[in-house]
DNA sequence: GTCTATATTGTGATAGAC
DNA sequence: GTCTATCACAATATAGAC
């Protein structure tokens, strides 16, 4: 333990007053939770990462689980609402697919470890998913997922009737979309190790993917 | 704590002698690790699940980490070697794709929580991935992943030159394949919650997927 | 091989000074 | 708001009887 600890303890001017300390703690918590999972994370490590004392974490967030929940909500808020908005927009299917791919890949490139963390949390702490639901409604539309699926399903069926597309349910299609965009990030440690990608290779891999995936996904729909 | 405990403590004939107790412990460990992640799992819970004393876990596996490693190796062995063999076989691309999809979906239907566990472990305990490598070589071919990619890449390039397929790297294609097969299982808790699938819905979802995915994936390749 | 203690940390959480 | 000190117990691990 005791990672290299090259942290810069903020200007030494304590007594923040504004919500700055809380923010720093939340950021540190995200870093540590994402790295170790909420089961493997240690309050002490988060405190060090934030440059504050461990007692302060409890002052702001009560319990470890409260902190974990806050981090999870923030993470989920980064992943879901944008996609749902795009999927239920009134652009053409073709445009929606391209926008989803670009939005996902750009967001995840900026936060590459989110998928692993969120998937891990949902598998190992399924009770945390109730937070997800409330996160989605507070982000705007209530019952957004079902609504987005309905819109998409209607549009897909319409285009299928016209002979443009092969028939596919909205559920299968959305899962395909999410799979192709998200899985590579969740599996990155494995991929990097198995097919030997260093981080430059990885960036190139993502560039290619961003360019090619939209058309490949649309091909999926061809009759 | 204290799960309902409807376990059947093996015929009361203790002093197994053969490797039966070790097997029971390993199975129990898999159950608990897969459910909680190796960070959230407790030795006590594993012992209860196996119907033995906690000290016995240490007798057989030394430390918690040793036990976790054993479980991870066994899990990885279920996921990887089969796919690699199919991918580097000399069947047509079309046949290989269908066989991979069916093999993956059938295997994962039998072990639906493996992907979440393996992905979680690799994200939160990356050091465990060295075990993966040695697991793969001991499973047969050394450097199997790179070898399979090379074979596949050659075949894809050949068919592209003939005009059958659009050009795609083996890396991108394998990631597409794995994404579409594995991600739905890793994301099942989320999907079930977000789009409201009960377990009957889920089984139907998988049936449709098993039937449609091969052609959709091949479409991906169309020029 | 399997068990019952028990040792020994580790770790979340609180009290209370400043 | 932030810290130091400490509590209470959870959890891994070991000793040693049977």
In order, the DSSP letters of B194-215 are HTT--HHHHHHHHHHHHHHHHH
How far does Cα B126 stand from its chain's mean position?
A: 16
The domain of B51 spans 20-62
Residue B133 has a pLDDT of 76
**Do A87 and A160 sit in the same domain of this protein?**
yes
CA–C1' B9–C1 (A): 16
| Residue B129: CATH number of its domain | 1.10.357.10
**Do A46 and A111 sit in the same domain of this protein?**
no
Residue B140 has a pLDDT of 67
Residue A25 lies in a domain: yes
pLDDT over 50 (residue A72): yes
Residue A57 has a pLDDT of 98
Instruction: For nucleotide C1, give the residue with the nearest CA to its C1'.
Output: B15
Residue B50 lies in a domain: yes
A11 strand D contact, CB < 7 Å: no
**Do A91 and A38 sit in the same domain of this protein?**
no
Residue A162 lies in a domain: yes
Q: Does B64 touch chain A (CB under 8 A)?
A: no
pLDDT tens digits, one per residue of A177-212? 999 999 999 999 999 988 889 999 999 999 999 999
User: In terms of pTM, does the model score above 0.85?
Assistant: yes
**Do B41 and B119 sit in the same domain of this protein?**
no
Please give the mean pLDDT across all residues of chain B: 90
Residue B7 lies in a domain: no
pLDDT tens digits, one per residue of B9-66? 344 445 566 789 999 999 999 999 999 999 999 999 999 999 999 999 999 999 999 9
Partner residue opposite B120 with nearest CB, options A37, A168, A220: A37
Chain-chain contact of A40 with B39 (C-beta, under 8 angstroms): yes
How far does Cα A68 stand from its chain's mean position?
A: 15
Residue B138 lies in a domain: yes
Query: 162-201 in A: which are within 8 Å (CB) of B?
Result: 168-169, 171-172, 174-176, 178-180, 182-184, 186-187, 189-191, 193-197
Q: What is the DSSP letter of B16?
A: -
Q: What region, left, alpha or beta, does residue A68 occupy, with left being phi > 0 and alpha being psi -120 to 50 degrees?
A: alpha
Nearest-angstrom CA–CA distance, A9 and A56: 15
Q: Closest Cα of chain B to A133: distance in Å?
A: 8
Query: 77-96 in A: which are within 8 Å (CB) of B?
Result: none
pLDDT tens digits, one per residue of A152-168? 999 999 999 999 999 99
Reported confidence tier of residue A12, pLDDT bands at 50, 70, 90: very low
Helices A170-186/B170-186 angle, 10° precision: 110
A80, A88, A119, A169, best to mutate vs chain B, most B CBs in 10 Å? A119
Residue A47 has a pLDDT of 98
Residue B13 lies in a domain: no
CA–C1' A55–D7 (A): 14
Chain-chain contact of A169 with B208 (C-beta, under 8 angstroms): yes
Domains of chain A: total: 2
With CA atoms as reference, report the closest residue to B179 among A207, A177, A192, A99.
Answer: A177
Residue A117 lies in a domain: yes
| Residue A43: CATH number of its domain | 1.10.10.60
CB-count burial class (<10 Å; 0-12, 13-18, 19+) for B81: middle
**Do A49 and A98 sit in the same domain of this protein?**
no
CA–C1' B11–C4 (A): 22
Q: Does A10 touch chain B (CB under 8 A)?
A: no
């Amino acid at each position: 333990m005791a990672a290299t600890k090259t942290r810069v303890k903020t200007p030494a001017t304590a007594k923040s007053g504004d919500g700055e300390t809380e923010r720093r703690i939340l950021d540190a918590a995200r870093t540590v939770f994402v790295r170790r999972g909420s089961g493997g994370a240690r309050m002490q490590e988060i405190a060090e990462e934030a440059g504050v004392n461990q007692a302060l974490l409890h002052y702001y967030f009560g319990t470890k689980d409260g902190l974990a929940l806050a981090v999870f909500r923030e993470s989920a808020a980064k992943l879901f609402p944008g996609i749902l908005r795009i999927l239920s927009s009134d652009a053409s299917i073709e445009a929606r697919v391209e926008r989803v791919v670009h939005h996902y890949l750009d967001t995840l490139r900026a936060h590459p470890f989110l998928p692993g963390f969120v998937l891990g949390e949902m598998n190992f702490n399924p009770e945390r998913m109730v937070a997800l639901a409330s996160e989605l409604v507070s982000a705007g539309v209530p019952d957004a997922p079902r609504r987005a699926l309905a819109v998409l399903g209607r549009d897909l069926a319409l285009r299928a009737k016209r002979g443009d597309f092969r028939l596919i349910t909205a559920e299968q299609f959305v899962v395909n979309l999410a799979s192709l965009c998200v899985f590579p990030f969740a599996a990155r440690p494995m991929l990097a190790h198995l097919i030997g990608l260093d981080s430059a290779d990885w960036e190139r891999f993502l560039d290619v993917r961003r360019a090619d995936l939209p058309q490949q996904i649309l091909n999926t729909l061809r009759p």
